[in-house]
Amino acid sequence: MPRKDTKIKIKEVALKLFNRDGFVNVRLQHISDVCGLSLGNIGYHFRTKNDILYALFSDFVEEQKLLLSEFRVLPLFEDFNRFLNSNFELQKRYVFFYKDALDLTRLYENISKQYREHLTWQELQLQGMLVFNEARGALDSKGNQDFVQKMSSLLVWASESWISRQAVTGAEELDKSSYLEMVWFLLKPYFTDTGIEEFENRVIIHEL
Amino acid sequence: MPRKDTKIKIKEVALKLFNRDGFVNVRLQHISDVCGLSLGNIGYHFRTKNDILYALFSDFVEEQKLLLSEFRVLPLFEDFNRFLNSNFELQKRYVFFYKDALDLTRLYENISKQYREHLTWQELQLQGMLVFNEARGALDSKGNQDFVQKMSSLLVWASESWISRQAVTGAEELDKSSYLEMVWFLLKPYFTDTGIEEFENRVIIHEL
């Protein structure tokens, strides 16, 4: 197998095991068993389990950045909803990180730093979305000076903490419609008539 | 020392250590050292460290229930704000639980169960508050059928996850005003004129 493919395979197997068993419960030995690679071979690509974690975390951040960049040019409601859909799939793909986010950011200083920067970056993207939608008359903050800053922070938090909320409240499955409904519920009171119409006609929460 | 006082002292010392060092990092031996009691004496009151955790968790739930019962008879905005103030102090007092909530509910089935019931109970109390405030004309859900259910769930989650949010985003101190602002920000778009006036005149967010 070419070197690059081996690296990708190790990451994929590790991600699967982390998601299933939780990061702390997986040992390099498990990863090596499932990959069918020797520990030495794995060590050639990743010195420690933490190095795999860092690589996965970087992939995750890059993927989420890509999603946000795609939607930021003209973020109509339907674009925001499409972003939320993809973001939901991404969270599910890296579910171990969301279940263990607090632990991982507490244990690993560089993950913590990178995650904070990433949260701030997300807030900035969403601020652009809010300003744009107020300017085009789909949202109305009714003169609330803090609206853009507070709403962006709330949207990011609500979205990022959704999986751990599901875990604490004991929801069995990660249901996309509930996630979308929750995020839109935060924005709805600020819809103008244009916003309401656009939301009702263009935003699909419950797929048929 | 009378038996009851010893028990209280053990809980107090354990709480201090859990808050400072995190639950998993504290051993019964530490607690016994700080209490100046033998391990045997502590074992007489609490067989394991988990038993202390359960006792503390029950205390915490009882205290929060008391706070909620006090405010539920006529929950005007100022009463809700008073509840939030006390709830903030309570979260700070049991900060280890909020920092480790996900871990603890994952590790201990009975805590998980009790915590979920407690979240549901809180939502029910807040639903009463929302219905009352809509009925007296301080809130207007504008015909949104899900308002009471969704808003109560959101308020409880925003409030309960506030400390872990601070931890992840790296906020240095637990600032009460930010907590109060965040909770009220969720309700504000539903204020009627009466609600706005009452909020501006009767609700204190930034203490002088």
DSSP label at residue B188: G
Please report which confidence band the pLDDT of residue A102 belongs to, taking 50, 70 and 90 as the band edges.
low
**Does B1 score more than 80 pLDDT?**
no
Q: Looking at the partner chain, which of A105, A115, A165 has a beta carbon nearest the beta carbon of B161? A: A165
Mean pLDDT lowest among A144-148, A168-172, B118-122: A168-172
What is the reported pLDDT for A159?
92
| Alpha carbon distance B112, B151 (integer Å) | 23
A-chain residues within 8 Å CB-CB of B115? Answer: 168
Here the ipTM equals 0.87
3-state secondary structure of B110: helix
Contacts of A82 (CB under 8 A, 6+ apart): A71
pLDDT in tens, A40-70: 999 999 999 999 999 999 999 999 888 888 7
Query: Considering chain A, what is the average pLDDT of its residues?
Result: 90
Q: Classify residue A52 by burial, with Cβ atoms within 10 Å: 0-12, 13-18, 19+.
A: buried
**Does A172 score more than 80 pLDDT?**
no
Residue pair B144/A188 in contact (Cβ under 8 Å)? The answer is: yes
Chain B interface residues (partner A, CB cutoff 8 A): 99, 101-103, 105-106, 112, 115-116, 119, 142, 144, 146, 150, 154, 157-158, 161, 164-165, 167-170, 181-182, 185-186, 188-190
pLDDT in tens, B161-189: 888 888 888 777 789 999 999 999 999 99
Minimal-distance CA residue of chain A relative to B146: A185
Cβ distance of A169 and B112 shorter than 8 Å = no
**Does B207 score more than 90 pLDDT?**
no
Query: Considering chain B, what is the average pLDDT of its residues?
Result: 90
| Alpha carbon distance B145, B142 (integer Å) | 9
Task: Pinpoint the alpha helices (H) of B72-108.
Answer: 77-93, 95-99, 101-107
A104 or A122: which leads in pLDDT: A122
Q: Which domains does chain A have, with CATH numbers?
A: 1-47 (1.10.10.60), 53-202 (1.10.357.10)
SS (H, E, C) chain A: CCHHHHHHHHHHHHHHHHHHHCHHHCCHHHHHHHHCCCHHHHHHHCCCHHHHHHHHHHHHHHHHHHHHHHHCCCCCHHHHHHHHHHHHHHHHHCHHHHHCHHHHHHHCHHHHHHHHHHHHHHHHHHHHHHHHHHHCCCECCCCCCCHHHHHHHHHHHHHHCHHHHHHHHCCCCCCHHHHHHHHHHHHHHHECHHHHHHHHHHCCCCCC
B144: left (phi > 0), else alpha (psi -120 to 50), else beta? beta
Query: Could you tell me which of A111, A95, A110 has the C-alpha nearest to residue A17?
Result: A95
Cβ distance of B168 and A99 shorter than 8 Å = no
Alpha-carbon torsion (A23, B22, A168, A206), positive or negative: negative
Please report which confidence band the pLDDT of residue A143 belongs to, taking 50, 70 and 90 as the band edges.
confident
